[in-house]
A and B are shown apart, each in its own frame.
Chain A
């Protein structure tokens, strides 16, 4: 009996150490001079399909393996445990993780919100005949977002606040993107915040009150973070940022538009014409620390952070704009 109990104690201790000791082990160099790195992904990102398809990663001596992650917090955990080298997270999640004390650094930006005069890429959607006409009508209502305390909730809450609606008066409900519009149409929620590209065949059944992302300043919708120890170990993080920079430049060139959507189409299994017709977020690899600072301030205003962290050490020098 005592042996069993001692065994249980030893097992717990081992479990604690193994679950908590994991750390970034650093990238492995291949025989051909490339560095093998793993990058978390949510599915098909246009920059990854382009960089892999057009050999941009290879040009920067990176052998990229994409690793599926369930969300920003899972990506941070993957980076810290060594399961991935670069974690794909939105700017708010990255700031939150850094503020909590996780030893991570931002190595690149990728996606920022589409600001006017660009066509709105996102919306707060209500039913076509809904009596809700403006932000003020959403007080006391249910709004679907893809994850609680995620980027969509933060941006929507900021937009509500800017329009005189106290975000606490609204109930945010986490629903997968695919279930949000059916929930709006059946009246289970009053509104949903998602991108136009996720409306499916429901363009005519809903209308948008506004693009909450466009009502803000620059927001980093997608960035990459890495463990601090990984960044300090070699130049793989710098080369990764350079590869993303080059990819963004090429994707921003209108001449490459058709080919980019063709590559994305093969990954997403959606016709390239459909993808090309959807409003897109902007691509920006350089990190504007002032914009990140404003995002942190938004989180303070929404009481998600007690005080604004010093983001200076968070963004690597090579990633700054």
Chain B
């Protein structure tokens, strides 16, 4: 192998590292400032970052490699939260996309349901927490219901907008080709609306995380929100912050997974191409 061929991957790696440093330096600096400031002040409410990361490892990742390092605390509080989040988000996606397509395609249904949708969107889901407890009891059903309801509206509205926004020329062309309903749905409607559907689903991930925590702060027996309240009552602030860090990491992870899925499934769509994304 020639020296030139060898130096190319090294140069590529160096560029990647450079890009990483460029994008992360502010975060690193903020963490250093936090560490120094917290040590100088000595506040027990805002402990140094090193202490928070120590608590993070001890609380969540202290198990053996055979358990993927996931501690019993992780299994007791994070897994129930993730299950609730998955069920609520999944239900919202199925319902939101289904109903969004229905009212997008069938104009009378759109006109009929529009006031109801606007009303539903305007009600803060957190205000329904006491009602959800009455309806579902102190069970995971209550958390799933709130997450699903909170995520439903952005997905539904975006799906509706996506369906209604399909280029009329494309629709006319599909009609002139006399496509079957199934082919029209799979080849025209779904691909045409999918960028908007994905946008709604992506917005809803953040909403799902927020509602997951809020619904567990109250009337729960396990979960990340429950853990946060519990540690606050015990004055265990490093542990409390470690749960907040875990939530942030989960948010980043979900967004990364979503971006990846979006990039694969919507490769054809101009806006999700890396070159066009950078130009925005």
Q: Mark B215-246, 1 if CB is under 8 A from A, else 0.
A: 00011110000100110111111000000000
A8 vs B26: C-alpha distance in the bound complex, in angstroms? 9
Contacts of B229 in A (CB 8 A): 147-148, 174
Tell whether, in the assembled complex, residue A148 and residue B41 are in contact, meaning their CB atoms are under 8 Å apart.
no
Q: Is B29's beta carbon under 8 Å from chain A?
A: yes
Contact of A16 (CB < 8 Å), options: B26, B37, B134, B137:
B37
Contacts of A171 in B (CB 8 A): 221
Instruction: Determine how close the nearest CB of chain B comes to the CB of A30; give it in whole angstroms.
Output: 31
With an 8 Å Cβ cutoff, the count of chain B residues facing the other chain is 31
A72 vs B232: C-alpha distance in the bound complex, in angstroms? 10
Contacts of A172 in B (CB 8 A): 221
Tell whether, in the assembled complex, residue B226 and residue A183 are in contact, meaning their CB atoms are under 8 Å apart.
no
A5 vs B22: C-alpha distance in the bound complex, in angstroms? 12
A149 vs B235: C-alpha distance in the bound complex, in angstroms? 10
Pair count A-B, CB < 8 A: 88
A148 vs B232: C-alpha distance in the bound complex, in angstroms? 10
Q: Which of A13-34 contact B (CB under 8 A)?
A: 13, 16-17, 19-21
Contacts of A100 in B (CB 8 A): 44, 235-237
Instruction: Determine how close the nearest CB of chain B comes to the CB of A299; give it in whole angstroms.
Output: 10
Closest to A148 in B: B230
Q: Mark A136-154, 1 if CB is under 8 A from B, else 0.
A: 0000001000011110000
Closest to B227 in A: A148
Contacts of B29 in A (CB 8 A): 9
Contacts of A188 in B (CB 8 A): 133, 137-138
Q: Is A77's beta carbon under 8 Å from chain B?
A: yes
Q: Is B172's beta carbon under 8 Å from chain A?
A: no
Closest to A100 in B: B235
Tell whether, in the assembled complex, residue B234 and residue A149 are in contact, meaning their CB atoms are under 8 Å apart.
yes
Contact of A173 (CB < 8 Å), options: B37, B38, B220:
B220
Q: Is A215's beta carbon under 8 Å from chain B?
A: no
Using known A-B contacts A16-B33, A142-B138, determine if residue A148 contacts B44 with beta carbons closer than 8 Å.
Answer: no
Q: Is A177's beta carbon under 8 Å from chain B?
A: no
Tell whether, in the assembled complex, residue A73 and residue B232 are in contact, meaning their CB atoms are under 8 Å apart.
yes
Tell whether, in the assembled complex, residue B41 and residue A102 are in contact, meaning their CB atoms are under 8 Å apart.
no
Contacts of A97 in B (CB 8 A): 235
Tell whether, in the assembled complex, residue B230 and residue A101 are in contact, meaning their CB atoms are under 8 Å apart.
no
Using known A-B contacts A16-B33, A149-B230, A172-B221, determine if residue A73 contacts B235 with beta carbons closer than 8 Å.
Answer: yes
A304 vs B230: C-alpha distance in the bound complex, in angstroms? 11
Q: Is A76's beta carbon under 8 Å from chain B?
A: yes
Contacts of A148 in B (CB 8 A): 226, 229-230, 233
Q: What residues make up the interface of A, taking CB atoms closer than 8 Å to B? A: 5, 8-9, 12-13, 16-17, 19-21, 71-73, 76-77, 80, 93, 96-97, 100-102, 142, 147-150, 171-175, 179, 183, 186-189, 304
Sample (21) of A-B pairs whose CB atoms are under 8 Å apart: A5-B26, A8-B30, A9-B26, A12-B34, A16-B33, A16-B38, A17-B41, A19-B45, A20-B46, A72-B233, A73-B235, A93-B233, A102-B235, A142-B138, A147-B233, A149-B233, A174-B220, A175-B218, A183-B133, A186-B134, A188-B138
Q: What residues make up the interface of B, taking CB atoms closer than 8 Å to A? A: 26, 29-30, 33-34, 37-38, 41-46, 130, 133-134, 137-138, 218-221, 226, 229-230, 232-237
